[in-house]
Amino acid sequence: MSSGMCSRRQKGFLQTGVCVLAVAFLSGGMYLYGQLQNKVKSLESMSLKFRQQQEALSAQLQVVYEHRSRLERSLQKERGEHKKTKEDFLVYKLEAQEALNKEKNQHEDLKRQLQELRSQHATLQLSHQQVQEESSHKEALLRKKHEHELKNMQGIIQVVLIYK
């Protein structure tokens, strides 16, 4: 037989083999197609799940950003209030220090005045004592003088009485 020609019997086997091979390839393709369909469904399911998770996380992230923004505004407000309170305290502290210094100065002035008054009092007491001593001395002199004049008068009266 010639090499280009196939026998009928071989042709039948060859056709059957090609048909079996075609059926096998077709079955394999169908199996792969089914597997790919399952894989695609699985991936679509996972994609949907991840999209939902992403949306949920985006919503949570938005809430976190809004909360952060409110906290930052609140912090700025608190900082402003703290700064004002600190300034008010410094003004109060300065005023209190000035008032304390004024009180201290007044206290020192009063202490000085008290010391001056005590000194004047001591001087006046000394002067009073000297005046009393002078007065007592003058009184004693006047008494002596008076007693002396009285004795002279009594002597004169006795002399007059004697002569009468």
The whole-model pTM stands at: 0.46
Confidence of residue 51 (pLDDT cuts 50, 70, 90): very high
Given CA atoms 69, 74, 75, 81 in this order, what sign does their dihedral have? Answer: positive
CA distances from 91 to 78, 88, 96, 101, 123 (A): 20, 5, 8, 15, 47
Q: Which residue has the tokens 């020192």?
A: 108
Confidence band for 12, pLDDT divided at 50, 70 and 90: confident
Handedness of CA 55, 61, 65, 66 (dihedral sign): positive
The whole-chain average pLDDT of the chain stands at 91
pLDDT at 13: 80
Distance CA 5, CA 11 (A): 9
User: 6 exposed, middle or buried (CB, 10 Å; 0-12, 13-18, 19+)?
Assistant: middle
Kindly give the residue spans of alpha helices, DSSP state H, lying in the chain. Answer: 8-163
- Mean pLDDT confidence for 62-86: 96
Nearest C-alpha neighbor of 58 from the set 123, 66, 86: 66
